[in-house]
Copies of this chain bind each other. A is one copy, B any other.
Amino acid sequence: MAKYEKAAEALRDEIRAGHPQAGERLPAETVLAERFRVSLPTIRQALGVLQAEGLIERRHGRGTYVREPRHLVARTNERHQWEKDRARQSLAEREKTGATERDTGLQVDDLVFSAVYDEVPANADLAAALGVREGEPLVRRSYQTRYRQEDFPFNVATSYLVRALVTANPRLLDDAEEPWPGGTQSQLHTVGIELDRVEERVTARPPSAEEAEVLGLHPGVSVLVLRKSCVDTEGRVVEVSDVILPGDRTEMVFVTPLERW
């Protein structure tokens, strides 16, 4: 086993044993280098491994710290039925609270929400997902949501609608109408679309450089990649969204009810 691996393993074991604990500082790199009798670049390589594992966090000018685990946002698939139940309610009712507030347990005022609409032709991937021909005009809607006190959003989402399906209501083409009380299902309701089911596909990977930038992710944090497809009662896929969620603060919850014997 290489020296840097030995050092990394020793430090990992110590952290798991609780010395130092989450939030506490590790000794300086020079101290560690001395202790393990290796050069500074080698101990830095060891710390790089632990950082990539998400175990530690290095703060420039301050030191190396044990990362604290955090899970703040739980996102459950029961939100879809909940949203559907509200889609036809009065504006006053719909304005009370949204699905994100439901997930996070926060008030609307605690959240900063942004939405930008534009129009793009369907590429091969989206055309297949939406069941339309390539080049079909789509409304692209880019969303970000963050806590008011924080600098970075906890999710970024891109939603695609087939433009032809929503032109009946011009208000659906205008991002100044966001946040739309009641969400997408309420929007679709205005053009006579009812959802039959929601399909969600989840994978995980390290963030791209851009995602790490936008979400303010530390090294050693993965992202959950969610593609959500909404299928209406006629079997058409009427919306596709791609959502990126930070893996260190998001838990996705899926409940599957079973038929009784």
Q: Which residues of A contact B (CB under 8 A)?
A: 8-9, 12, 48, 52-54, 71, 74, 77-78, 80-81, 84, 88, 194-209, 219-224, 233, 247-248, 250-261
Q: Report chain B residues within 8 Å CB of A261.
A: 84, 88, 194
Main secondary structure of the interface of A (DSSP, over half): mixed
**What is the distance, in angstroms, from A41's C-beta to the closest C-beta of chain B?**
8
Q: Is the CB of B204 within 8 A of A223?
A: yes
Contact of A54 among B77, B199, B206 (CB under 8 A): B206
Contact of A253 among B81, B200, B233, B252 (CB under 8 A): B200
Complex CA–CA separation, A252 to B253 (angstroms):
12
Say how many copies of this protein the assembly contains: 2
Quick check: B81 and A258 within 8 Å, CB to CB? Answer: yes
Could you say which residues of chain B place their CB within 8 Å of the CB of A54?
205-206
| A251 in contact with B202 (CB, 8 Å) | yes
Rounded to whole Å, the gap between the CB of A117 and the closest CB of chain B is: 25
B contact residues around A207 at 8 Å (CB): 53
Which 8 pairs of residues, A with B, have the shortest CB-CB distance?
Answer: A204-B204, A204-B247, A222-B222, A204-B222, A202-B252, A254-B254, A77-B256, A198-B256
- CB pair A222–B205 under 8 Å, yes or no, is yes
Known: A198-B256, A201-B252, A253-B201. A206 touches B220 (CB 8 A): yes
Q: How far is the CA of A260 from the CA of B232 in the complex (A)?
A: 10
In the bound assembly, the distance between CA atoms of A204 and B199 in angstroms comes to 19
Interface residue from B12, B80, B208 paired with A258 (Cβ < 8 Å): B80
Whether A198 lies near B259 (C-beta < 8 A) is no
Q: Are the CB atoms of B251 and A206 closer together than 8 Å?
A: no
Smallest CB separation, A192 vs chain B (Å) = 11
Chain B residues contacting A233 (CB-CB under 8 Å) are 260
19 A-B pairs with CB atoms under 8 Å apart are: A9-B209, A52-B206, A52-B219, A53-B209, A54-B206, A74-B201, A78-B256, A81-B259, A197-B256, A199-B254, A199-B255, A201-B252, A202-B202, A202-B252, A204-B247, A206-B220, A206-B222, A254-B254, A254-B256
Q: Which residue of chain B lies nearest to A5 when distances are taken between CB atoms in the complex?
A: B209
Q: A194-B261, A203-B247 are in contact. List 16 more A-B contacts (CB 8 A).
A: A9-B209, A52-B52, A52-B219, A77-B254, A80-B258, A81-B259, A84-B258, A84-B259, A88-B261, A194-B260, A197-B256, A202-B202, A203-B224, A204-B223, A205-B221, A206-B206
